Amino acid sequence: AQRVTQPEKLLSVFKGAPVELKCNYSYSGSPELFWYVQYSRQRLQLLLRHISRESIKGFTADLNKGETSFHLKKPFAQEEDSAMYYCALSVVGYSSASKIIFGSGTRLSIRP
Amino acid sequence: NAGVTQTPKFQVLKTGQSMTLQCAQDMNHEYMSWYRQDPGMGLRLIHYSVGAGITDQGEVPNGYNVSRSTTEDFPLRLLSAAPSQTSVYFCASASRVTEAFFGQGTRLTVV
């Protein structure tokens, strides 16, 4: 079965420290992975997707098929990074359209 | 550009009452879905649809019904509300080439 696992419910780091939010997935097909972010009192929004291979707000994520991981990283945390982060997997269904499965989320708290 | 619109934003129900959460998107996305967000549980998929007339169950479908008569709308019906359905509900839509776009959420309390 398809599954997304985020082992950390809460991650607290100091401003300027490196950040790594872990994400592991289980999927037999070719995965399409995303990171979404939810700032306080706002709707979820896309942070980045693995196929674009770009850096957004200083965050990067590399798909490691061997380890089935898609960890989110930032070298220097900023206070405005405090938010809820969700890793998500897009699963191609029988009609070639996809359903999107989310992990349980990690709350990132940046201490001044 | 409205994107994904959910109504209402807040709702309080008594146990046993029924109601419908509305979701509409104006991006012509074929994929629409409903999630519930609970502390420590993340986003759990309730129901989803890959096109008009096609729906399927997600991870936690019990107590909820959906229908997809048009591409734009995907309402979620609570048949007989229970306190366990107290949650924040999010509707999302996507196409085969885009990421998911989310509504603002509906905070539902069942007393």
pLDDT at B42: 84
DSSP secondary structure letter of residue A28: S
On the question of pLDDT at A98 being above 70, the answer is no
Distance from C-alpha of A20 to C-alpha of B14, rounded to nearest angstrom: 43
pLDDT of residue A31: 83
Looking at residue A41, its pLDDT comes to: 81
d(CA A55, CA A51): 12
Q: How far is CA B110 from CA A3, B14, B42, B46, B60, in A?
A: 29, 6, 20, 18, 17
Distance between CA atoms of A22 and A72, rounded to whole angstroms? 6
Residue in B closest to A84 by C-alpha: B42
Could you tell me the pLDDT band of residue A2, with boundaries at 50, 70 and 90?
A: confident
Supply the mean pLDDT for chain A.
89
Q: What is the mean pLDDT of residues A34-63?
A: 88
Residue B60's nearest CA partner among B74, B72, B43 is B43
From A50, A60, A59, A57, select the one nearest A25 (Cα to Cα): A50
Instruction: Write down the pLDDT at residue A53.
Output: 74
> A85 pLDDT exceeds 60?
yes
**Residues in chain A closer than 8 A to B105 (CB atoms):** 43
How far does chain A reach from its first CA to its final CA, in angstroms? 41
Per-residue pLDDT of B16-34, as tens digits, reads 999 999 999 999 998 999 9
Mean pLDDT score, B56-75: 95
Chain B hits for A95, CB-CB cut-off 8 Å, are 50-51, 54
Which has more confidence, B52 or A91? B52
Q: How far apart are CA B96 and CA A37, in angstroms?
A: 21
Q: Inform me whether the pLDDT recorded for B8 exceeds 70.
A: yes
> For residue A43, which phi and psi values (nearest 5 degrees)?
-80, 160
Q: How many CB atoms lie within 10 A of CB A95?
A: 13
Phi, psi of B51 (to 5 degrees): 165, 165
| Chain B residues inside the 8 Å CB shell of A10 | none
Contact A9 B35 (CB under 8 A): no
- Tokens at B86, concatenated: 């107290």
Residue B91: beta bridge partners? B34
DSSP secondary structure of B32-84: EEEEEEETTTEEEEEEEEEETTEEEE-S--TTEEE--SSSSB--EEESS--GG
CB–CB contacts below 8 A, A to B: 64
Number of Cβ within 10 Å of residue B51's Cβ equals 14
pLDDT of residue B81: 96
pLDDT in tens, B78-106: 999 999 999 999 999 988 767 889 999 99
Q: Collect all residues of chain A within an 8 Å Cβ-Cβ radius of residue B100.
A: 34, 36, 44, 46, 88, 100
Do the chains contact at A86 and B42, CB–CB below 8 Å? yes
Mean pLDDT to the nearest integer, B47-75: 94
Residue type present at position B60: V
Give residue B96's pLDDT.
Answer: 72
Task: Identify the DSSP state of A71.
Answer: -
For residue B99, give the nearest of A46, A96, A105 by CB distance: A46
Per-residue pLDDT averaged across A18-46, rounded? Answer: 91
